[in-house]
Amino acid sequence: MASSPQNIKALFEPANKAHAIIEAVFFCEFHQPFERSVIDRLLTLEHDETVKADLPGFKRVEGGGIAFSAKDSAFAIQRTVDMEPVGVLLEHFQPNGTADWVVRVMPKVVSIHCLDYTTWSDVWERVQKYFNVVFQKITPSQTKVVGLGLKYIDHFKFNGQPEEYDPKLLFSPSSEFLHGKALTSSGYRWHCHSGWFETIDNAEPDRECLNQVNIDATGTSGGHLTKIEHSMVIQGFEADTEYLMVQSEVSDTALAKAMNYLHDSNKNVLRNLLTPEMIKRINL
């Protein structure tokens, strides 16, 4: 027999005491790779003492390899492409050496990974600072921002016995984001992946948000784990990085407004997915 909802604390545990977030990823997508002049400016961050004080880890991201061409219906090596820098990786570390903040600049994406989530206000303050560090090196650039995104990864561990497992202690049976078999399949291995586009109120006509929610419930050597990965991308942009950081009349940036919207969207999805008990437990 499944345990009652009041036992949810003993059965399903969020990854952290006040929330279940193990990683939050903030990212900007660009319509074409950065020019070499931008990469060269990014490489100077390795010797920037102000940046190193907060992000001491620095690595070059290199690209290259072998180029192929089709000849006589067979692939033949045409030439070897020299490895060259195409991006950078900056990291902040915990005392045990584990990275808890990662700033990654790839040819068409800038992403900031928070692996030690606390509160939205504290995390966003730091994310905005890191975006500023990168954007100052990207600007000026010919490439434009075409998408702004945020991804949350939440983990919930099941601590009960196999016969006690009941996904309805974690998920609301009435959620619109779960298919009909998600909560009734036998055992504790199941998944539910879905996606949709959402109109953004008061936004420009071509701007919409792509949502992807992937739920995976699996058994591991450490027990049963349920992962919720919610990725959101606002599409329809064609802006430079200067536009994203310019203060508006209400002292807010276009980037901050977009990320706040995505943060609220994630909370709304989780409120629809989870039981009232778990919603209260993780402070939603």
Question: What's the pLDDT tens digit per position in 154-203?
Answer: 999 998 887 888 899 999 999 999 988 888 876 778 899 999 999 887 76
pLDDT of residue 70: 56
pLDDT of residue 1: 44
Q: Which residues of the chain have pLDDT under 50?
A: 1-2, 5-6, 8
Residues forming a β-bridge with 85:
62
pLDDT of residue 248: 53
Phi and psi for 177 in degrees, rounded to 5? Answer: -100, 5
Domain ranges of the chain: 1-22+153-284, 33-63+83-107+109-142
pLDDT of residue 209: 95
pLDDT of residue 241: 83
Sequence-distant (≥ 6) Cβ neighbours of residue 264 within 8 angstroms: none
In whole angstroms, give the CA distance from residue 48 to residue 132: 14
Closest CA to 134 of 233, 61, 38: 38
